[in-house]
Structure 1
Amino acid sequence: MKAARDMVGSYLETWSLGYAVDDAKLVVSELVGNVVHHAVPDERLSMPGAKRRIDVWLINYPGLLAIGVFDEDSTPPDLPAGEFISPDLAGDFIEALVPDRGRGLLIVQRLADAVWWSPGLKGAGKTVWVRFDLDRVWADWWAEYSAR
């Protein structure tokens, strides 16, 4: 996971997107961590501990940053559906708002402007994608920076 975080940070700094580094590195860390802890390559289901492939994609387009994390498990990710309960309605049972699982993807959804997945080529594996609207990320960063 460290290698993926470092690679993302390095590319974003090279592309003069330093303001997006922290959020992007956290998102990549969560997505790669999910692959390491949960994904089982389709053809290696009966071979625990077998090597696996993880690809990290970065796409820098004017105003947008897309990050994709590919793994060899074609099982769709369990993307949280979002919040169903208003904190005001939860009252004394605020723990009801914290899911039992999928908290990492919930963090990803909070940081990114969009999260989705696509099946791999020929049905093998999948890629989980996130999109950052860079104008919003920059504005959030600048507001936090200038408040210091």
Structure 2
Amino acid sequence: MTLFDESSSTVHAARVMVGACLQDWGLGDVVDDARLVVSELVGNVVHHAVPDECLARPGAARRIDVLVKAWPGWLFIGVADEDSTPPDLPAGEFVSPELTGDFVEALLPDRGRGLLIIQRLTDAVWWTPEGPGGKTVWCRFDLNTTT
């Protein structure tokens, strides 16, 4: 699905469309996590993406593509934007939560908290460049295939 960052409801629209799609596919057990992931990814585009010069059109809304693909055992969600700048994917935890005591807030990075949430909710996160510009940030959910 293609969205254009024209209004404050862009993130909400993406969340609703992905949730409805997953319900239709019988993947209701991952709807809540998938909607949160899409909210974070689309929100990053809305708030941080700057279209590459070759893709920018004066006065045009930014294009956001939300991709949802399911295979037996996996669900892939990708959000493509027109900014080739790589995302700041968190490298992982450098301090054990047990060492922070009552100050777990100290573990939160200054930036990239949305991507940290995505890493915690999904089984993999990566990005791919797009030509002639832009990128797609992907995540994978490993689905429970036993029923």
- What interval of TM-score do these two structures reach, taking the shorter chain for normalisation? 0.7 to 0.9
1:95 is aligned to 105
Q: Does 1:64 align with 2:78?
A: no
Alignment deviations for residues 58-88 of structure 1 (CA, whole Å, 9 cap, x no partner): 0010010000000000000001111110022
Aligned partners of 2:122 and 2:140 also within 8 Å: yes
Measured in 2, the distance between the counterparts of 1:62 and 1:93 equals: 41
State yes or no: 1:79 paired with 2:94.
no
Structure 1 residue runs of 4 or more that deviate by more than 6 Å after TM superposition = 44-49
Structure 1 residues 47, 112: closer, same or farther in 2, change over 3 A? same
Q: 1:18 to 1:46 in 2, by over 3 A?
A: closer
Residue 127 in structure 1 maps to residue 133 in structure 2: no
**Cα pair distance change 1:59/1:48, threshold 3 Å:** same
TM-score (normalised: structure 2): 0.85
1:40 alignment counterpart: 50
- Secondary structure, aligned partner of 1:77: coil
The alpha-carbon distance between structure 1 residues 20 and 40, as it changes in their structure 2 partners (threshold 3 A), is same
Amino acid at match of 1:131: R
Question: Which position in structure 1 is the counterpart of 2:128?
Answer: 118
Aligned twin of 2:23: 13
Give the SS at the match of 2:70. Answer: strand
CA separation in 2, counterparts of 1:17 and 1:134?
Answer: 9
Q: CA RMSD in A?
A: 2.3
**Alpha carbons of structure 1 residues 96 and 44: separation in structure 2 relative to 1, 3 Å:** farther
State whether residues 55 and 82 of structure 2, in contact with CA within 8 Å, keep that contact through their aligned partners in structure 1: no
Q: 1:50 to 1:19 in 2, by over 3 A?
A: same
Select between 91-100 and 11-20 the one with higher mean Cα deviation: 91-100
Work out the number of aligned pairs and report it. 137
- Partners in 1 of 2:24 and 2:117 — Cα distance? 26
Pick the structure with more helix per residue: 1
